[in-house]
Amino acid sequence: MRTPPTRHHSRRRLIPRRRWPRRLLILVNTVVAVCLVAAGGAYGYVRYRIDSIRTQGAAHLTANPGGAGSPENILLIGNQTRAGLSPAQAAQFGNPQELSGSLSDVIMILHLDPRTDKASILSIPRDLFVPMPPGSPVGSYQKVDAALNDGPNGPDNLIQAITDDFGIPINHFVELNFNGFMNTVNALGGINMYFPERLWDQYSLLWVPNTGCIHLNGAQALALVRARHLQYDPPGDNAPRYDWPHDPLSDLSRIVRDHTFLRVLFSTALSKGLGNPLTLNAFLAAVINQITIDPGLKGQLLSLAARYRHISPNSVAETTLPVVTVNNYYYGGYQMGDVDFPVQPLDNQVIAAWDHNALPAAQTPASVNVYNVTGIGLLATDTAAGLRAYGLPIGTIGNGPVKGTPSETLVRYHPGQLALAMSVFQHLSGPVMLQQDAAVQPGTITVDAGTGLTVPAPSPTTSGGSTAKTGAAKQTVNGQKPSSAGDHLTPWDPRPCPSTP
């Protein structure tokens, strides 16, 4: 028998069990933009179609100070709701009565830069363990995908979680539901992907019994992009599929496969000649009736189409936030299943490379309070000494409650004072996360020092305002090497067919 998957999942508070995880690939706004331009003389019809898109406001979107001509971050959300599924689809994937609620199994941020006419994507692993915004029905701490489970306020709750916890401003959002994904693929007549090895996932119902270039319809494509319990048939192995090896990285591998799928989907849309009114109508009907966007983005769709119409699918850089995994994690007395922890300073380096203006410039706070939340050693004292070496004013040093072992370090800041948090955040190494907290006094920062936290000494060749950089190839967190920020296909991962444009 082969080794079973290394990542496990269990029931979480107030959230339906993920018996059928799915990932909905949704660079829809960019694909729609290409379609709009391709329509040419059908401008009036396209305008009519755009007017029918559902919109929803989100209070925590960040206004773009430079207007529509400045770089923008668009959050792409895949909502797993089964609402709208046909009886046959509900029988295959689950009905909304049994599997209610919402989880965001796709969290991608599309960065559009009009100065370079380029687009890039940052994927956030859905299992990252993060603080939830105040009042979230799923509790104070959860996996980041759970932030969507807040009814009509779900998109705004997820936007707030990303901005508060990662420091990334979100200007717009696009949400695509479960049914819309299948309809979109079917409207294009399906897609073709090359499978170098046979694949099977008993949970997502993916079954690829042959190798080579395979045509996938909407349901088959959905089974592929939501497969996180993937098993593959290596060359020369005649074992039954139940005994095939498992992909060891589960959701992290799935992100890589989803990036590949996204490029194939985009290429397929470009190759279908969407200037054809019949093809255009089918595609727009499948997409537009299934998405929700913010009103500001709705007003920009045609201008985005004109601005980015020359983007090639292969030119869109795709990055994933590096993480380390904690199996069977307990926090605050609750079983959270397998979770991902962040990796600093690597994560901030990846964010800066994706969007160098995403994180604000650091400002020095009036004081920094440090508490040890591990219950071990003199971590608060050592952390305070390290931060003092950078010229930061240290206030209270003490112990805080131990809620989980291991535990993340939280850099807590008063609402609206993210720049003060960055003055501390930039000097910390290990599993470190931001948290907006109204209980923190204005002008101050509180550090809850967790497992694996270190403060690298200032570089002797620079001033105290610069932190020593940790090489991505050498950094480890709790003895574990972080996951890759770049996409690395395994021998069994599907890829574009040789003939795919």
Provide DSSP, 415-451. Answer: TT-HHHHHHHHTT-BBSEEEEE-TTSPTTEEEEEE-T
Q: Which residues are CB-contacts of 203 (< 8 A; sequence separation ≥ 6)? A: 19, 20, 21, 227, 228, 229
Question: pTM for the full model?
Answer: 0.85
Give the whole-angstrom CA distance, residue 199 versus residue 209.
Answer: 7
Mean pLDDT of 210-228: 93
Give the whole-angstrom CA distance, residue 42 versus residue 38.
Answer: 9
- Supply the pLDDT for residue 454: 96
Task: Please give the angle made by the CA atoms of 110, 122 and 317, to the nearest 5 degrees.
Answer: 80
Q: Tell me whether the omega of the peptide bond preceding residue 406 falls within 30 degrees of 0, making it cis.
A: yes
Which tokens hold the place of 260? 């590949």
Is the pLDDT confidence value at 130 over 60? yes
Domains defined along the chain, listed by start: 28-184+255-323 (3.40.630), 344-449 (3.30.70.2390)
Residue type, 57: G
Pairing of strands 291-293, 54-55: parallel
Is the pLDDT confidence value at 352 over 80? yes
Which tokens hold the place of 319? 């990055």
Query: In terms of Cα–Cα distance, which of 103, 152, 107 is closest to 125?
Result: 107
Give the whole-angstrom CA distance, residue 60 versus residue 126.
Answer: 20
Q: Which residues of 180-216 are buried (b: 16+ CB within 10 A; e: fewer)?
A: bbbbbbbbbeebbbbbbbbbbbeebbbebeeeeebeb
Tally of CB atoms within 10 A around 56 = 15
CA distances for 234 relative to 266, 284, 469, 470, angstroms: 29, 40, 40, 37
- Supply the pLDDT for residue 286: 75
Are the C-beta atoms of residues 22 and 178 closer than 8 Å to each other? Answer: yes
Is the pLDDT confidence value at 30 over 80? no
Which tokens hold the place of 473? 């190839």
- Supply the pLDDT for residue 230: 96
Give the whole-angstrom CA distance, residue 437 versus residue 434.
Answer: 10
pLDDT digits (tens, 9 = 90+) for 364-379: 999 999 999 999 999 9
- Supply the pLDDT for residue 68: 66
Is the pLDDT confidence value at 486 over 60? yes
Mean pLDDT of 418-439: 97
Give kind and range of the element (H or E) at residue 410.
strand 409-413
The chain-wide mean pLDDT, for the chain, equals: 83
Is the pLDDT confidence value at 35 over 50? no
- Supply the pLDDT for residue 461: 57
Are the C-beta atoms of residues 156 and 163 closer than 8 Å to each other? Answer: no
- Supply the pLDDT for residue 312: 82
Taking each helix axis as running N to C, give the angle between helix 28-39 and helix 277-288, from 0 to 180 degrees, rounded to the nearest 10: 150
Is the pLDDT confidence value at 177 over 90? no
Q: Strand 212-216's sheet: what is its strand order? A: 212-216, 191-195, 495-496
pLDDT digits (tens, 9 = 90+) for 236-277: 888 999 999 999 988 899 999 999 998 898 888 878 766 566
- Supply the pLDDT for residue 313: 80
Give the whole-angstrom CA distance, residue 112 versus residue 119.
Answer: 5
